[in-house]
Amino acid sequence: MSKVKTRPFDMANYLNDEEDVTAYLQAAVEDGDPALLAAALGDIAKARGMTQLAKDTGMSRESLYKSLSGERAPNSETLFKVMRALGFKLTIQSA
């Protein structure tokens, strides 16, 4: 029997256009879990280029990877910096 080689799933490989990115981020926001939002932003950052995000936010790549890993919720300052640098704005509407 031959072995099948697999790779770990990486959402960044499936964020091919702005429609996909927006839908993915919207789903993360609707879930209400700050760590999930951070992980989604991390996936988007990886898809677009973490090096550029580091330049745009003034944060190190290492700090961004750690903050956007989804293992914990980053502080609000980091979330807003990253969202702005990725070209997103947060809007509020009644539930």
- Residue 94: inside a domain: no
Residue 93 and residue 22: Cα distance in Å, rounded? 17
Q: Is the pLDDT of residue 15 over 90?
A: yes
Average pLDDT of the segment spanning 40-66: 96
Q: Is the pLDDT of residue 12 over 90?
A: yes
- Residue 7: inside a domain: no
- Residue 2: inside a domain: no
- Residue 46: inside a domain: yes
- Residue 41: inside a domain: yes
Q: Which domain holds residue 30?
A: 19-85
Q: What percent of the chain has pLDDT over 90?
A: 82
Residue identified by tokens 């956007």 is: 68
Residue 18 and residue 47: Cα distance in Å, rounded? 11
Alpha-carbon separation of residue 3 from 6, 7 (angstroms): 9, 13
Written as six digits, the tokens of 78 are 């980091």
Alpha-carbon separation of residue 75 from 14, 54, 60, 61 (angstroms): 27, 16, 16, 16
Average pLDDT of the segment spanning 74-89: 94
- Residue 49: inside a domain: yes
- Residue 54: inside a domain: yes
Q: Is the pLDDT of residue 90 over 90?
A: no
- Residue 75: inside a domain: yes
Written as six digits, the tokens of 11 are 């959402």
Q: Is the pLDDT of residue 17 over 80?
A: yes
Domain count, the chain: 1
